[in-house]
Amino acid sequence: MSIQFDPILLLDPYLRAPSSRWRAGPHPAAAFVVFAACALLAFAAVALFSLALAVAVTAGLVCGHFADLFFGRLYTGSELGGSAYRCNDCRAPLRPLFGIPLLGTLAARLRCPDCGSRLPLPAVVLPVGAVALFAASHFVFHATGPTLLGGFFATAFLTLTLTDLDRRLLPNRIVYPCVLLAAAFCWAWPDRSVGAILLGGGVGIAIATGLLLLSLPFGKGAFGMGDVKMIVLIGFVTGYPAVVSGLLVGTLAAGAVALVLIITRLRGTRDYIPHGPFLALGGLIGLFFI
Ligand SMILES: [Zn+2]
């Protein structure tokens, strides 16, 4: 028998304990202490190069980590409160190991140590994606306030992509608060006026209503209410005229991908192809490039 030494497991002596949600380990708060230490460490390391980038990366870590932990509650109808858990299947208390962004999940070999369920894709995509998007936001906006705002909405678009791919849902629990936040911070963008943002929201509402009406002959579900609300969100985040160009790029990308999927026979002409990821792409382009 070989003795394995895995330094990361020292942080969680309970990882290989017998499965039981009642004996699952320390209080979930320990995971947040571990996370705070990791975030501080990341901040210090990046601050050696650039303080502003360190702020962006750390905010990305926080945003991605919490979006990841709450991901299951964002669209499954689970209660939003209560103690933290990693796995939506057994909801065992969050282990300290999962306080380490990404590496904790990788160390657990993408499985829940309590029930053995496979951890969902967002457990990897959200932490990495959020840090990358906040860093991108830093290089686009430079100033700290707009960087954080841009990173936050970009992460919201990524989260919506993942919920749409997983359950074909663009949940109100994400979209409504984000629309309110985007409207409330309409003054905070360096390159967009308050008028441009509010006009963008109005144009978003008009485009969404138009598309909804146009889709009615194709039957219920051809264009969902989730898509409508997401277009409004993109309008309030990117403003006018970016909302128009962003949505155009998203629609073209959706058309191109649908065409490829149909030509390669991976999907039929009647199969459902989610709109959310393409709207999110359009939103990201409108936010960062237009
Ligand atoms: Zn589990």
Q: Tell me how far the alpha carbon of residue 16 lies from the centroid of ligand 1, in angstroms.
A: 13
Q: Tell me how far the alpha carbon of residue 68 lies from the centroid of ligand 1, in angstroms.
A: 15
pLDDT of residue 226: 86
Together in a domain, 75 and 124? yes
Together in a domain, 17 and 161? yes
Q: Tell me how far the alpha carbon of residue 181 lies from the centroid of ligand 1, in angstroms.
A: 33
The chain-wide mean pLDDT, for the chain, equals 85
Mean pLDDT of 28-51: 91
Together in a domain, 32 and 129? yes
Q: Tell me how far the alpha carbon of residue 116 lies from the centroid of ligand 1, in angstroms.
A: 6
pLDDT of residue 89: 85
Helix axes 122-141, 144-167, angle to 10 degrees: 150
For the CA atoms of 146, 151, 152, 157, the dihedral, rounded to the nearest 10 degrees, stands at: 130
Give 157-187 pLDDT, tens digit per residue. Answer: 999 999 998 888 888 889 999 999 999 999 9
Q: Is 83 exposed, middle or buried (0-12, 13-18, 19+ CB in 10 A)?
A: exposed
**Which of 169, 203, 231 corresponds to the end of one domain?**
169
Mean pLDDT of 72-89: 78
- Look at the alpha carbons of 39, 97, 128, 64 in this order and tell me if their dihedral is positive or negative: negative
Together in a domain, 107 and 231? no
Whether residue 51 has pLDDT greater than 80: yes
Together in a domain, 154 and 197? no
Instruction: List helix spans (H) across the chain.
Output: 29-47, 51-75, 103-107, 122-141, 144-167, 172-184, 194-215, 225-238, 242-263, 276-288
Pairwise CA distance, residues 290 & 287, whole Å: 7
Q: Tell me how far the alpha carbon of residue 86 lies from the centroid of ligand 1, in angstroms.
A: 7
Return the structure tokens found at 60.
């990305």
Together in a domain, 93 and 14? yes
Whether residue 283 has pLDDT greater than 70: yes
Together in a domain, 139 and 182? no
Strand partners, 111: 118
Count of domains observed in the chain: 2
Together in a domain, 206 and 256? yes
Q: Tell me how far the alpha carbon of residue 99 lies from the centroid of ligand 1, in angstroms.
A: 16
Whether residue 217 has pLDDT greater than 90: no
Pairwise CA distance, residues 48 & 192, whole Å: 32
Token pair 């999110």 is at which residue? 280
Token pair 């502003």 is at which residue? 52
Q: Tell me how far the alpha carbon of residue 67 lies from the centroid of ligand 1, in angstroms.
A: 18
Under the banding of pLDDT at 50, 70 and 90, the label for residue 222 is low
If we measure between CA atoms, which residue out of 113, 120, 127 comes closest to residue 63? 127
Under the banding of pLDDT at 50, 70 and 90, the label for residue 17 is very low
Q: What is the residue range of 56's domain?
A: 1-169
Whether residue 8 has pLDDT greater than 90: no
Together in a domain, 112 and 187? no
Q: Tell me how far the alpha carbon of residue 112 lies from the centroid of ligand 1, in angstroms.
A: 5
pLDDT of residue 1: 43
> CB neighbours (10 Å) of residue 9?
15
Q: Tell me how far the alpha carbon of residue 248 lies from the centroid of ligand 1, in angstroms.
A: 41
Q: Tell me how far the alpha carbon of residue 20 lies from the centroid of ligand 1, in angstroms.
A: 10
Whether residue 34 has pLDDT greater than 60: yes
Q: Tell me how far the alpha carbon of residue 98 lies from the centroid of ligand 1, in angstroms.
A: 13
Q: Tell me how far the alpha carbon of residue 96 lies from the centroid of ligand 1, in angstroms.
A: 15
Pairwise CA distance, residues 214 & 204, whole Å: 15
**Which of 134, 169, 204 corresponds to the end of one domain?**
169
Under the banding of pLDDT at 50, 70 and 90, the label for residue 25 is low
Q: Tell me how far the alpha carbon of residue 85 lies from the centroid of ligand 1, in angstroms.
A: 9
Q: Tell me how far the alpha carbon of residue 3 lies from the centroid of ligand 1, in angstroms.
A: 26
Together in a domain, 105 and 248? no
Element (H, E) at 80: none
Together in a domain, 68 and 177? no
pLDDT of residue 12: 54
Q: Tell me how far the alpha carbon of residue 31 lies from the centroid of ligand 1, in angstroms.
A: 16
Report whether 242 contacts 287 (CB < 8 A). yes
pTM of the model: 0.87
Q: Tell me how far the alpha carbon of residue 73 lies from the centroid of ligand 1, in angstroms.
A: 15
pLDDT of residue 3: 47
**Which of 128, 153, 169 corresponds to the end of one domain?**
169
Together in a domain, 149 and 192? no
pLDDT of residue 72: 77
pLDDT of residue 9: 53
For ion ligand 1, residues whose CB falls within 5 Å: 87, 89-90, 112, 114-115, 117
Return the structure tokens found at 117.
């369920």
Pairwise CA distance, residues 282 & 273, whole Å: 16
